Amino acid sequence: MNTALTTCATTWRFSPEERVQRKLHYALVDEVDSILIDEARTPLIISGPAEDSSEMYKKVNKIIPHLIRQEKEDSDTFQGEGHFSVDEKARQVNLTERGLVLIEELLVNEGIMDEGESLYSPGNIMLMHHVTAALRAHVLFTRDVDYIVKDGEVIIVDEHTGRTMQGRRWSDGLHQAVEAKEGVEIQNENQTLASITFQNYFRLYEKLAGMTGTADTEAFEFSSIYKLDTVVVPTNRPMIRKDLPDLVYMTEAEKIQAIIEDIKERTANGQPVLVGTISIEKSEVVSNELTKAGIKHNVLNAKFHASEADIVAQAGYPSAVTIATNMAGRGTDIVLGGSWQAEVAELENPTPEQIAQIKAEWQVRHDAVLAAGGLHIIGTERHESRRIDNQLRGRSGRQGDAGSSRFYLSMEDALMRIFASDRVSGMMRKLGMKPGEAIEHPWVTKAIANAQRKVESRNFDIRKQLLEYDDVANDQRRAIYTQRNELLDVTDVSETINSIREDVFKATIDAYIPPQSLEEMWDIPGLQERLKKTTSIWICRFQSGWIKNLSCTKKRCANVFWQTQ
């Protein structure tokens, strides 16, 4: 990310010596799917301070709690009683007519808007911006899911990795709206000075390659967007992990209870368990239930990231239970029996005998865990992307070790509720399921996989469409930056400046005296006024010789402008 920001910053330099970015020849990206797929829509922005509007965010924030949500958007066949509707698939919130009227009344009552004005009038564009941002902050963004509040600051949580993104802020006033919602200090909005997306940044490299354990499902996108072929490398040792079928319950409570029972059974046999959750909030729900059941466990999420190394080092101990967000997915290596290196590191000056003793004790634990079945992975929900599920599963069965995994789902899970509810619910009704019972069937697994493919396809379409829009700006960006670099690299820019100046005057004169046109079509007064307004040049009259030779006219105007500077 730093190199991409450096690329943006380099465009501001005023001499070749100030540039710090070399030519982009070759990039080798680790966890390439995380960067080129998951982060593809993230713009890297260098920003500067903008106008302070923190008070307006506070005022508008008080209005949003008065609004009531309705289940569906208004249409010709449906008119709801609420003030806004939510499209969970697209993560969009839409005001209804009733909601717009109420907001306008509340804004007038608060003295923010004048009586009789419309929120959509040109003078209220910025006010509408504040209302939209506040509505999104309250409805679409949830504490301990999308962000955390720490030391009076709103910190974004990466939805793909579960880690906090210190220093990053949402744009378009959204971050300020969330700060107003949480009652913390509202920082000033920023204006964008330079930006580039990951997609276009990495496409600047002449050669590009990367590595990841979960690229195969995104092979089409790597090929179509980045022109990269995907090659599957065989594992070093045969993978013997047992991936058990999903279990689907009707309610969240039934699912959590089944997870607790599975943990009890596994730990009784000495098997360590890693429980993967999709958010901080969900990890705390599971933690509370384990505490009630008297099961000792560790929690790894963005709130406890400082203890990550210690928690991961202990996660492979016999009967250890670890609850984690996606932080424990990508790139985390859980050693069966625990990490003997971590134990050695705790000693100040370990002797060879102490190290040998620690290794011997670790070997006993390692063998015991293998005999119990290796690390058991429990997924509490399916993610939108199969890759993230595979990353969680991949913590077990590494380097040919034994292991197992199972996902527990409920019809109240976000993915099931939004994308797969009708089909799976129909199967459950046909099977006559009773409370507490789970469905385990290949049809269900297939329906869930289809739901994930739908989400992946939709997200791909969004990324592709964004790239198509950004490509237009990127072509202009490249042209400007190329021309700027050429100017920086030459010692005498007079020839280039003269050429640019002549081009400007040529375009200006052509607009008022079109080439190959009759004299009756010429707008001499308009040209005189335009030249005076844009260049401070006043040419009282155009001599007949100038008019007959437009090329001469353009050069003379350019020379007059040059002489007046």
3-state secondary structure of 114: coil
What whole-number distance in Å separates Cα of residue 478 and Cα of residue 140?
A: 36
What whole-number distance in Å separates Cα of residue 47 and Cα of residue 475?
A: 21
Rg (CA), the chain: 31
What whole-number distance in Å separates Cα of residue 28 and Cα of residue 212?
A: 11
Q: What is the per-residue burial (b if ≥16 Cβ within 10 Å, else e) of 298-312?
A: bbbbbbbeeebeebb
What whole-number distance in Å separates Cα of residue 10 and Cα of residue 548?
A: 46
3-state secondary structure of 551: helix
432 phi-psi bin (left φ>0, alpha ψ -120 to 50, beta other): left
Residue (of 411, 370, 408) closest to 392 by Cα position: 408
The CA-based angle 381-415-97, given to 5 degrees, is 140
| DSSP class of 218 | G
What whole-number distance in Å separates Cα of residue 430 and Cα of residue 283?
A: 33
Would you say how long the chain is, in residues?
565
What does each C-alpha distance from 188 to 155, 169, 193 come to in angstroms?
15, 11, 15
What whole-number distance in Å separates Cα of residue 73 and Cα of residue 93?
A: 10
Q: Where are the alpha helices (DSSP H) in 97-186?
A: 97-109, 125-139, 174-182
The letter for the amino acid at 88 is: E
Cα within 13 Å of Cα(232), Cβ side = 8
What whole-number distance in Å separates Cα of residue 289 and Cα of residue 291?
A: 5
Pair type for strands 207-211 and 26-30 = parallel
Which strand (E) or helix (H) includes residue 220?
Answer: helix 219-226
Q: Are 212 and 196 in contact (CB under 8 A)?
A: no
Residue (of 381, 408, 379) closest to 394 by Cα position: 379
Residue (of 170, 81, 76) closest to 132 by Cα position: 170
Q: Are 134 and 60 in contact (CB under 8 A)?
A: yes
Which strand (E) or helix (H) includes residue 376?
Answer: strand 375-379
Q: Are 288 and 295 in contact (CB under 8 A)?
A: no
3-state secondary structure of 82: coil
Residue 333 assigned to a binding site: yes
Q: Are 394 and 369 in contact (CB under 8 A)?
A: no
Pair type for strands 84-87 and 43-49 = unpaired
**Feature table: binding site for ATP:** 333
**Feature table: binding site:** 333
